[in-house]
């Protein structure tokens, strides 16, 4: 690995000063010399997490002072004995609410004057009960006496404070650090731990201008390495600054700029890496974003934490493909900035002269996104909508200087789905508002927006989609579909401003799939969809990446028994994965019969079952221990995790198995789930009779990664 460093300005103090003086570590059974007021602190230090509290972490050894005894509505105060300040710094661990004067640790003079004060970090949802190091420079108080107060005067959410490990020291527990590099290599590599509570905020600039920020769990004994992808910023100067605990000084010195990163040689070869589902090289992924097809290229953006396997640092990862399966990962399309982290949104082709974006007189690409929080160092809960554009075919994107184009409206408004509506010659944005309400907003130029109407999808929320489809392929018979994150949809009519539903919400999309979106400008009028397969990161067995996208699938509308419904099929590109096929025979089969001659975790079962000729009460297949069976009594198909969809006539099954997942397509319905692939043969289900297969084939599927 080649490292390139312009300068190293790490200002960690030299060790060798006098030993720290412990004021209190809260390991005794009671509070000793502290005076206890009120009920909030109980009769002694907390031992771990208290009842009804989120998990508390970051404290030392067994105990810490907590005002959560009795919950957030209890109040109280701890007051220490007087002590003499005999070191330059007072270090401590602190967590809980960020309410000055109400949830705080105070250093107080004998006369009662507050000399120093600190609070926890939290005021709203999404916070953590992790304690973090803080330091006060008390050199100007040398030789003076003082007391400490741990104060809880706050009721309601985050109305508590936690404190531990209070020490006088000649060195601060937290120090300001800064380093700069000339960007000659592609990656700034970071050694990290999977422990989210170890995360610290790092702020980055390029040539002195704000670039991005991230919470990174830096570690001197890393579980794996992650990276900041700087491929689009060569020749610039990157500066990174942070406030770090002093014990991370060696880990900080290991952060380095290079043309590669440790572990890169194993990318896409990990044991738990799915063989044909999209996963990122490193880090967490969730919602698909920015789905747009342009000049033969499918663009897939996605919610991404590039720096660890858990949710954080919402960034738009970016990958491109010419076939929906073989992906090349590019640097992120959007990174956190002054207006906040990058929540979900959409991608679209921008026709020439149809926007106020600086894309010139040629066709361009655009992104619409939610920025969550106003300031990089003090993120809040304010959600606004922004747009970005690309003038190089989607290789890079720039945020519009006039963002936000839509200020906060209501609740957690977010996830803009934007497209050009040719009949009205203007832009349309479907935007999640609050609860089950969505809004339709219109604009002549992508910058000036007006709310035109609202609609509802009872039982759903977030991640709207809005698109038109032909019924049974007839372009003269079309309907519009509104879609929510949970896979509920409504069919109706849309005039460019108002969506009028023609029925109640329906579902033909089950299991772990969530927050799906469809492509803008897909070829041949196709409506191609990706969903996110949410689940437990444990399914990936400690790999340096977590979670994945569904298979790509094509949506259409079909009239079935006089009712128009959404029809879901695997995208035809999936057939290109097939490497070998075994015809398992047709006709009647008995319960438990093996489908012989096939091994592995990556395959597709293709079957057609004639339900009229089948005598079994339940029929289908068992795949690696997972039962996928149709029940005669309920006329439903139970897929993974017991999800159901009504089917009749002939049951047409396509079952896809990959490392850790099974996805089932059955008569226009979809079920996708993570599974514990315990192994075992492929077998027939025929409970209480026999099952009649018109077709039964098994296809071995190849890997899309280089091996």
Catalytic center residues:
287
Both tokens assigned to 158: 């985050």
- Which residues have CB under 8 Å from 219's CB, separation 6+? 191, 192, 193, 195, 198, 248, 251
How far apart are alpha carbons 150 and 95 in whole angstroms? Answer: 12
Run of H or E residues at 249: helix 249-254
Percentages (nearest 5) of helix, strand, coil residues in the chain: 5, 50, 45
How far apart are alpha carbons 335 and 214 in whole angstroms? Answer: 9
- What distance separates the 2 farthest-apart alpha carbons in the chain? 94
Cα–Cα distance list, 304 to 514, 543, 549 (Å): 15, 16, 12
Burial class (CB in 10 A: 0-12, 13-18, 19+), 139: exposed
DSSP string, 201-240: EEEEEETTEEEEEEEE-B-SS-SEEEEEE-GGGTTSEEEE
Beta-carbon-side half-sphere exposure of residue 585 (alpha carbons within 13 Å): 11
Burial class (CB in 10 A: 0-12, 13-18, 19+), 254: middle
- Reported in sequence order, the residue ranges of 538-660 that DSSP labels E, i.e. its strands, are 545-546, 548-549, 553-560, 563-570, 578-583, 587-590, 603-610, 618-623, 626-631, 636-638, 644-646, 650-658
- Which residues have CB under 8 Å from 612's CB, separation 6+? 649
Is residue 341 within 8 A of residue 314, CB to CB? The reply is yes
Handedness of CA 258, 262, 266, 268 (dihedral sign): negative
Both tokens assigned to 358: 């600086």
Run of H or E residues at 386: strand 383-390
Cα 600 to the chain's mean position, in Å?
30
Span between the terminal Cα atoms of the chain, in Å: 22
Is residue 240 within 8 A of residue 204, CB to CB? The reply is yes
Which residue in 648, 673, 416, 685 sits closest to 535, CA to CA?
A: 673
Neighbours of 73 (CB within 10 A): 12
At 141 the three-state DSSP class reads: helix
Q: In this structure, what DSSP letter does residue 581 have? A: E
Burial class (CB in 10 A: 0-12, 13-18, 19+), 148: buried
The pairs formed by 317-322 with CB atoms below 8 angstroms and a separation of 24 or more are 317/280, 317/283, 317/285, 318/290, 319/278, 319/280, 320/394, 321/297, 322/296, 322/297, 322/298
């Amino acid at each position: 690995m080649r490292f390139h460093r312009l300068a190293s300005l790490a200002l960690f103090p030299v060790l060798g000063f006098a030993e720290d003086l412990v004021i209190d570590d809260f390991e005794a059974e009671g509070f000793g010399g502290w005076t206890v007021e009120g009920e909030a602190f109980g009769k002694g230090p907390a031992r771990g997490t208290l009842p009804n509290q989120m998990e508390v972490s970051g404290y030392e050894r067994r105990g810490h002072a907590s005002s959560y005894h009795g919950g957030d509505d209890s109040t109280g105060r701890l007051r220490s004995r007087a002590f003499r300040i005999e070191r330059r710094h007072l270090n401590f661990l602190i967590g809980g609410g960020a309410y000055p004067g109400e949830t705080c640790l105070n250093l107080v003079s004998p006369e009662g004057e507050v000399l120093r004060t600190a609070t926890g970090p939290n005021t709203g949802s999404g916070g953590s009960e992790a304690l973090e190091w803080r330091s006060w420079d008390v050199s100007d108080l040398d030789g003076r006496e003082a007391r400490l107060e741990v104060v809880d005067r706050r009721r309601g959410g985050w109305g508590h404070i936690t404190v531990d490990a209070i020490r006088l020291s000649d060195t601060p527990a937290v120090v300001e650090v800064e380093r700069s590099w000339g960007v000659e290599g592609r990656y700034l590599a970071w050694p990290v731990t999977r422990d989210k509570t170890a995360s610290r905020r790092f702020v980055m600039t390029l040539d002195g201008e704000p670039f991005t920020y991230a919470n990174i769990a830096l570690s001197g004994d890393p579980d794996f390495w992650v990276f900041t992808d700087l491929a689009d910023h060569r020749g610039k100067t990157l500066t990174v600054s942070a406030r770090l605990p002093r014990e991370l000084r060696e880990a900080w010195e290991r952060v380095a700029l290079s043309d590669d990163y440790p572990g890169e040689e194993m990318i896409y070869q990990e044991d738990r890496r799915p063989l044909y589902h999209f996963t990122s090289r490193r880090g967490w992924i969730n919602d698909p974003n920015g789905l747009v097809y342009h000049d033969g290229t499918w663009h897939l953006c996605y919610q991404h934490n590039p720096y660890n396997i858990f949710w954080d640092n919402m960034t738009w990862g970016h990958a491109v493909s010419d076939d929906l399966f073989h992906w090349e990962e590019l640097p992120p399309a959007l990174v956190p900035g002054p207006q906040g982290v990058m929540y979900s949104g959409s991608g679209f082709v921008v026709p020439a002269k149809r926007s106020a974006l600086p894309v010139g007189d040629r066709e361009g690409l655009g992104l619409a996104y939610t920025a969550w929080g106003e300031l990089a160092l003090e993120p809040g809960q304010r959600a606004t909508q922004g747009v970005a554009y690309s003038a190089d075919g989607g290789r890079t994107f720039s945020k519009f200087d006039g963002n936000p184009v839509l200020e906060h409206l209501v609740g957690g408004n977010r996830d803009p789905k934007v497209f050009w509506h040719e009949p009205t010659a203007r832009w349309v944005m479907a935007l999640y508002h609050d609860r089950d309400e969505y809004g339709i907003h219109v604009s002549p130029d992508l910058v000036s927006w007006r709310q035109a109407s609202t609609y509802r999808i009872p039982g759903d929320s977030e991640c709207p989609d809005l698109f038109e489809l032909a019924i049974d392929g007839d372009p003269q018979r079309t309907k519009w579909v509104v879609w929510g994150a949970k896979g509920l949809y409504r069919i109706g009519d849309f005039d460019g401003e108002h969506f009028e539903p023609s029925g109640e919400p329906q579902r033909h999309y089950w299991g772990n799939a969530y927050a799906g979106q469809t492509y803008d400008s897909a070829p041949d009028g196709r409506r191609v969809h990706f969903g996110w397969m949410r689940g437990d990161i444990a399914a990936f067995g400690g790999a340096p990446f977590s979670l994945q996208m569904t298979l790509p699938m094509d949506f259409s509308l079909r009239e079935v028994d006089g009712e128009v419904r959404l029809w879901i099929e695997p995208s035809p590109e999936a057939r290109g994965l097939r490497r070998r096929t075994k015809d398992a025979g047709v006709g009647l089969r008995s319960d438990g019969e093996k489908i012989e001659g096939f091994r592995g975790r990556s395959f597709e079962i293709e079957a057609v079952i004639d339900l009229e000729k089948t005598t079994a009460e339940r029929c289908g297949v068992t795949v690696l221990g997972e039962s996928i069976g149709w029940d005669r009594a309920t006329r439903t198909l139970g897929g993974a995790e017991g999800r159901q969809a009504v089917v009749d006539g002939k049951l047409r099954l396509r079952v896809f198995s990959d490392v850790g997942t099974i996805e089932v397509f059955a008569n226009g319905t979809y079920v996708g789930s993570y599974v514990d692939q315990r192994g075992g043969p492929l077998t027939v289900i025929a409970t209480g009779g026999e099952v009649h297969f018109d077709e039964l084939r098994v296809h071995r599927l190849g890997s899309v990664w280089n091996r």
